[in-house]
């Protein structure tokens, strides 16, 4: 009898050990191992042209790489995102509930096409500007609005400082986005458009921070599009948010009302440059 009990206990123990091993094997197949790359949290040296991904810092709700020139951004896209860094970002994506491989797909598109779309003003690359200590001229966010990668540019258009945020639209949404417009795109890619996570025509009435939202035809340099203009209730920041689609890119421009009304965006365009 005792031998039978002992045998039963051993069998149960062996079964539990096997079950645990299978569980951990399954988990490890879904969640990448912690990469060997060390990501520091100290504020990077913004005086450098190119800050490597190992110097990423937490800011604006996502990891951010900083650059002070378009050449620096191109070098970063070509050389900075090693396999270790991409694996680390995937590890972070899983931990934050973002689709694993989102940034890798974004990065591979640049490498494959060897091209980057950048803002131009009056036919020249926009004059980049640091708007105060702790800000970079260009920042690359692996995850920001709509849980997607963004590239932000800070620059001067005429005498006015503006912010230009760019997000590459998913290939399968490009054609329909250009046909149906920017509000449709925003409502489509917002995780839950019934909650005013990001204002569009479907939900902005529920957002107590939005003062007004309207559409108008926007004439850029050599390009015409429909823009979604948002004004918030914010006495400390009266800037407008100008959203529009430029070919395969969703653009959000932050600009002061008087600068917008002066028509300076008519000299703004986006040009495709080679990374190499």
Instruction: Show Cβ contacts of residue 229 under 8 Å, excluding neighbours closer than 6 positions.
Output: 212, 213, 214, 215, 216, 240, 241, 242, 243
| Residue 207 domain-assigned (yes or no) | yes
Residue 6 structural domain: 1-30
Give the pTM. 0.77
- Cβ pair 70, 273 in contact under 8 A: yes
Cα–Cα distances in angstroms (integers) from residue 222 to residues 120, 225, 248, in the given order: 12, 10, 16
Which tokens hold the place of 29?
């197949």
Above pLDDT 70, what percent of the chain? 70
Q: Which residues contact 90 (CB under 8 A, 6 or more apart)?
A: 32, 100, 101, 103, 104
Establish if 42 belongs to a structural domain. Answer: no
Assess contact for 227 and 207: CB atoms under 8 A: no
**φ and ψ at 249, to 5 degrees?**
-125, 135
Same domain, 16 and 66: no
The mean per-residue pLDDT over the stretch 26-53 comes to 44
Both 23 and 111 in a single domain?
no
pLDDT in tens, 238-252: 889 999 999 999 999
**pLDDT tier at 134 (50, 70, 90 boundaries)?**
low
Kindly state the DSSP code that residue 177 receives in the 8-state scheme. Answer: H
Query: What CA–CA distances, in Å, run from 24 to 1, 19, 98, 181?
Result: 35, 9, 21, 46
- Specify whether 113 is located in the same domain as 245: yes
* Rounded average pLDDT over 62-88: 80
> Is residue 41, in this structure, part of any structural domain at all?
no
Lowest mean pLDDT segment, chosen from 46-50, 57-61, 134-138, 175-179: 57-61
- Listed range (24-28, 49-53, 70-74) with the worst mean pLDDT: 24-28
Q: Is residue 47 part of a domain?
A: no
Q: Is the pLDDT of residue 146 over 60?
A: yes
37: pLDDT strictly greater than 70: no
Structure tokens at 119: 């803002």
pLDDT at res. 24: 40
Residue 197 lies in a domain: yes
| pLDDT of res. 118 | 94
Domain count, the chain: 2
Closest by Cα among 105, 44, 114, 119 to 74: 114
Residues 6+ apart with CB under 8 A from 251: 164, 165, 166, 242, 243, 244, 245, 270
Same domain, 16 and 142: no
Residue 46, in any domain of the structure:
no
Using CA atoms, how far apart are residues 76 and 85, in angstroms rounded to an integer? 12
Residue with tokens 């191109």: 74
Distant-in-sequence, close-in-space partners of 73: CB < 8 Å, separation ≥ 6: 50, 67, 116, 138, 140, 151
């Amino acid at each position: 009898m005792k031998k039978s009990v002992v045998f039963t206990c051993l069998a149960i123990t062996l079964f539990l050990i096997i079950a645990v091993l299978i569980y951990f094997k399954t988990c490890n197949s879904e969640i990448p191992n912690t990469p060997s790359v060390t990501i520091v949290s100290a504020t990077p040296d913004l005086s450098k042209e190119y800050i490597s991904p190992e110097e990423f810092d937490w800011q604006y709700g996502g990891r951010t790489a900083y650059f002070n020139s378009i050449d620096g951004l191109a070098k970063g896209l070509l050389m900075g995102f090693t396999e270790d860094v991409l694996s680390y970002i995937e590890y972070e994506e899983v931990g934050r509930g973002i689709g694993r491989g989102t940034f890798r797909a974004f990065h591979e598109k640049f490498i494959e096409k060897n091209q980057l779309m950048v803002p131009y003003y009056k036919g020249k690359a926009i004059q980049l500007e640091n708007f105060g200590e702790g800000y970079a001229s260009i920042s690359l966010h692996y995850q920001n609005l709509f849980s997607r990668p963004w590239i932000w540019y800070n620059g001067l258009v005429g005498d006015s400082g503006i912010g230009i945020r760019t997000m590459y639209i998913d290939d399968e949404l490009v054609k329909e986005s250009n046909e149906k417009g920017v509000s449709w795109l925003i409502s489509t890619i917002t995780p839950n458009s019934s909650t005013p996570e990001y204002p569009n025509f479907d939900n902005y009435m529920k957002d107590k921070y939005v003062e007004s939202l309207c559409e108008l035809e926007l004439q850029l340099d050599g390009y015409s599009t429909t823009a979604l203009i948002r004004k918030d209730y914010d006495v400390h920041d009266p800037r407008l948010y100008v959203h529009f689609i430029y070919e395969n890119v969703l653009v959000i421009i932050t600009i002061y009302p008087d600068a917008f009304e002066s028509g300076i965006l008519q000299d703004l365009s986006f040009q495709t440059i080679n990374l190499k």
